[in-house]
Amino acid sequence: MSSSKVTINEVARQAGVSIATVSRFLSNPFSVKEKNRKKLEKVIKKLHYQPFVYARKLAGGKLGVYGLIIPGYEGIFNSFYALELIKGVGFSLERKNIDLYLHIFWTKDRFNISLVDGVIFADVIANQEQLKRILKEKLPCVVINKKVEELDVSFVAVDNFRGAYQATEYLITQRHKRIAHLAGDLRVQCAQERIEGYKSALIENKIKVSDKYIKVANFSYLEARRCLEELFDTSSPPTAVFAASDEMAEEVLNFANRYKIKIPEQLSVIGFDDNPLCIQGEIKLSTVRQPLKEMASLGVDVLKEQIEKKKENIKRLVLSPQLIIRESVAPFKRS
Amino acid sequence: MSSSKVTINEVARQAGVSIATVSRFLSNPFSVKEKNRKKLEKVIKKLHYQPFVYARKLAGGKLGVYGLIIPGYEGIFNSFYALELIKGVGFSLERKNIDLYLHIFWTKDRFNISLVDGVIFADVIANQEQLKRILKEKLPCVVINKKVEELDVSFVAVDNFRGAYQATEYLITQRHKRIAHLAGDLRVQCAQERIEGYKSALIENKIKVSDKYIKVANFSYLEARRCLEELFDTSSPPTAVFAASDEMAEEVLNFANRYKIKIPEQLSVIGFDDNPLCIQGEIKLSTVRQPLKEMASLGVDVLKEQIEKKKENIKRLVLSPQLIIRESVAPFKRS
DNA sequence: CAACTTTATTATAACATTTTCTTTTTAGGA
DNA sequence: TCCTAAAAAGAAAATGTTATAATAAAGTTG
């Protein structure tokens, strides 16, 4: 099987030092004298020695592998959000020479915690069963994109309320009054927060909140289509739509195109995410940019700190989204 | 750190057997007598015992983790192909109770082979450096979506030549003669094969192959747009386009929409992949369906077999794609 | 330059599991 | 009931690494 396995013993022998020295060299090269350091560098290179992570972990060392846990809900891989997160975490770890163990909960939510040094938990949907287990086992952990106030755990999240508020407020400054909202999956915290932000903006601007303008489309373009049919099949259709994701917002554009509704002249649209999709089509979509890369990279930093300095220093970061105005919004004009 | 870690020792103690018996129970429950088996089942459940995969591997056992290696080229995560593959492998492994270690080559192509029992190698772009290293280390390995005839390795691939041939041939049966091809990234084998399939279909139907109808758009919709501008800025623009991916084909639809070219009446289009995108827009895109899920699942099966039966039985499978006709093709009519 | 302090190195004991080799138990005849 | 063969269980070695404690080497100071 594993052919000519090069072990720390062989390295030690060829370098003429003890295995302890090799081990120390590996974890901190400057803890061995220059002469030995040079020698070890050479031997390790020559033998293509790679430490055996199992033995290392078994002996109480670090694995050099961080886990990223994300939910495997249908459509996860059409979800800009998840992919951007994976990419962000992946890049960030690679720069730190740490391996990424990406765990997706497809159907079962079993996760073998011994596979990693710590986890970034992005499973925003699932019940907190797994998260609690991880915490109970004292595995270093950072939650991403969810403000888990009720548990003793670090998190890095985005201020979804504020993003939604800003988007809605902007539509109001453009004199829109009948503003609809295409909401995301209600099991997801950020979808809830976006609804709240939307409502707050209306209320503070003395516009009545009406349930018939709030449609739950579960972040799905297909459901968005259905919702739009309902939304526009009334005597007072909205003059603006704020969607909780760009994919749903894009569907508004498609819908408008089909029914010859002019955008932005007859209907204004704002999305959420800043998906490349926004600038792909004919009409460039205005949106709320989520700092996903920053969130991922901060998540990695917080986790690394927690793993290395063993002190349990809980950090809670909330990042600000940014409203990006493009072509899909125009001031309301009585037609 | 790792708090109250439950080990095999504790299980053995509580069940009143030796650790060897527990170990044997774990690898084959029916190798221990009923009384002990029942007892062990109960104790393991009670303690939530999870074997420590590293100690297991160190002692010569299996890890229960398979690797999937994919290239981290820019755009990987907008690539339907890669995502479908990840999903396919993930599901397939979960059904077998095996963990997936997803390794993406972002910038460096370092990969710690000791993290897995074997790998599915989908890095179709990178040089074969890593693949050769894996083979040299005798790590069980299956290549996916690339026919690596020159190395002693199993693979599961799709007959891209045939898919491209069928698509092009279908356009020819619809009386098209000026058929353009939007090609993918030439570094990728399947892009090459699709070009060959396209050319063959033309040649065998006595249509002259012209380089000005073959444009390399690297699987990118932006480059596709540029290519289309060139393609239609001539006195004899194509009457049909066969694109090597649905994303590029979709861009043909956008392009046509912008220039008021009617699809399919004035321009026929066929894509490749069977991306959900195809049925998302106004005009349902005809395409060549790649059996990606099947490929992933077969890849897993072949790898598992290789890992379990140690004999080196090289398997090479080529799956057939399927032409799917929707709305984007019409017979050629002189205008 | 001796005595002491700091720094560098080494020997060795874990770590949790599997495997091989023994030993014990069970089952099946005679 | 005894003997033998087969099945089940156990003891102990081995796996590659790190951490701890002990030792050796190198500096520093009076």
Distances (CA, A) of A133 to A66, A109, A305, B53: 17, 11, 21, 18
Burial class (CB within 10 angstroms; exposed 0-12, middle 13-18, buried 19+) of B31:
exposed
| pLDDT of the residue at A217 | 93
Q: Say whether both A26 and A175 belong to one domain.
A: no
A52 and B CB contact within 8 Å = yes
Residue B58 lies in a domain: no
Residue A56 lies in a domain: no
Stated as kind and residue range, the H or E segment containing B87 is helix B80-95
A309 and B CB contact within 8 Å = no
Q: pLDDT below 70 — which residues of chain A? A: 1-4, 73-78, 109, 123-124, 126-127, 310-312, 335
Q: Say whether both B267 and B306 belong to one domain.
A: no
| pLDDT of the residue at A294 | 94
Burial class (CB within 10 angstroms; exposed 0-12, middle 13-18, buried 19+) of B221:
buried
Find chain B residues with C-beta within 8 A of A65's C-beta. Answer: 115
HSE, CB side, 13 Å, CA atoms: give it for residue B207.
Answer: 20
**Out of B52, B86, B106, whose CB is closest to A77?**
B86
* Token pair in block for residue B156: 């599961």
- Residue A218's nearest CA partner among A91, A74, A334, A103 is A74
Block residue for tokens 């770890």: A93
Residue B146 lies in a domain: yes
> In this predicted structure, which of A260-269, A300-309, B127-136, B287-296 has the lowest mean pLDDT?
B127-136
Find chain A residues with C-beta within 8 A of B282's C-beta. Answer: 254, 257-258
| pLDDT of the residue at A256 | 93
Nearest residue for C13, CA–C1': A59
CB pairs under 8 A between A and B: 105
Q: Say whether both A77 and A136 belong to one domain.
A: yes
Q: Say whether both A210 and A284 belong to one domain.
A: yes
pLDDT at residue B311 above 80? no
Pair A271, A249: CB distance under 8 Å: yes
* Token pair in block for residue A189: 């915290």
| A221: CB partners within 8 A, 6+ apart | A247, A248, A250, A251, B280
* CA dist., res. A271 & res. A287, Å (int): 4
3-state secondary structure of B226: helix
A115 and B CB contact within 8 Å = yes
CB count within 10 Å of CB A102 equals 21
Question: CB distance B72–A90 less than 8 Å?
Answer: yes
| Least Cα separation, residue B321 to chain A (angstroms) | 22
Q: Per-residue confidence at B293, pLDDT binned at 50, 70, 90?
A: very high
pLDDT winner (highest mean) among A55-69, A121-135, B101-115, B203-217: B203-217
Pair A55, A88: CB distance under 8 Å: no
* CA to C1' distance (Å), from A32 to D28: 21
Q: Say whether both B193 and B244 belong to one domain.
A: yes
Which residues of A, range 154-213, sit inside 8 Å of B by Cβ?
none
Residue B326 lies in a domain: no
* CA dist., res. B142 & res. A330, Å (int): 54
Residue A173 lies in a domain: yes
Q: Say whether both A140 and A251 belong to one domain.
A: no
| pLDDT of the residue at A105 | 79
* Token pair in block for residue B219: 């699987």
Q: Please report, to the nearest 10 degrees, the dihedral formed by the alpha carbons of residues A227, A233, A239, A245 taken in order.
A: 10
Q: For chain C, which bases have at least one atom within 7 A of a protein Cβ?
A: 8-20
Q: Say whether both A210 and A234 belong to one domain.
A: yes
Q: Say whether both A12 and A98 belong to one domain.
A: no
Which pLDDT tens digit goes with each residue over A107-127?
Answer: 776 777 778 889 999 866 766
Block residue for tokens 């129970």: B25
pLDDT at residue B220 above 70? yes
* CA to C1' distance (Å), from A2 to D15: 13
Pair A39, A82: CB distance under 8 Å: no
Q: Say which amino acid occupies A273.
A: D
- Residue A104's nearest CA partner among A83, A118, A88 is A83
B45 and A CB contact within 8 Å = no
> In this predicted structure, which of A71-75, A96-100, B46-50, B260-264 has the lowest mean pLDDT?
A71-75
**Out of A54, A137, A221, whose CB is closest to B58?**
A54
Return the closest nucleotide (C1') to the Cα of B8: C16
Q: What share of chain A is helix, strand, coil (3-state, %, to 5)?
A: 45, 15, 40
Q: Say whether both B141 and B262 belong to one domain.
A: no
Helices A246-258 and A221-232: angle between axes, nearest 10 degrees: 50
* CA dist., res. B314 & res. B324, Å (int): 32
Domain enclosing residue B133, as ranges:
65-159+292-320
Q: Say whether both A152 and A191 belong to one domain.
A: no
Residue A100 pairs with which residues in a beta bridge? A66
Q: Per-residue confidence at B318, pLDDT binned at 50, 70, 90?
A: very high
pLDDT at residue B1 above 50? no
* CA dist., res. B320 & res. B325, Å (int): 16
3-state secondary structure of A282: coil
Q: Say whether both B209 and B308 belong to one domain.
A: no
3-state secondary structure of A267: coil
Q: For chain D, which bases have at least one atom within 7 A of a protein Cβ?
A: 8-21
Question: How many structural domains comprise chain A?
Answer: 3
Nearest residue for C18, CA–C1': B59
* CA dist., res. A299 & res. A90, Å (int): 12
Residue B329 lies in a domain: no
For strands A141-144 and A179-183, give the pairing: unpaired
Stated as kind and residue range, the H or E segment containing A104 is strand A99-105
Residue A3 lies in a domain: no
Q: Which of B102, B119, B225 to mutate to test the interface with A (most CBs of A within 10 A)?
A: B102
Q: Say which amino acid occupies A115.
A: L
- Residue A128's nearest CA partner among A73, A76, A71 is A71
Residue A325 lies in a domain: no
Q: Say whether both A195 and A255 belong to one domain.
A: yes
- Residue B76's nearest CA partner among A91, A47, A284 is A91
3-state secondary structure of A101: strand
* CA dist., res. A326 & res. A320, Å (int): 19
**CATH classification at residue A314:** 3.40.50.2300
**Cβ of A55 < 7 Å from strand D?**
yes
Pair A300, A89: CB distance under 8 Å: yes
Q: Per-residue confidence at B139, pLDDT binned at 50, 70, 90?
A: confident
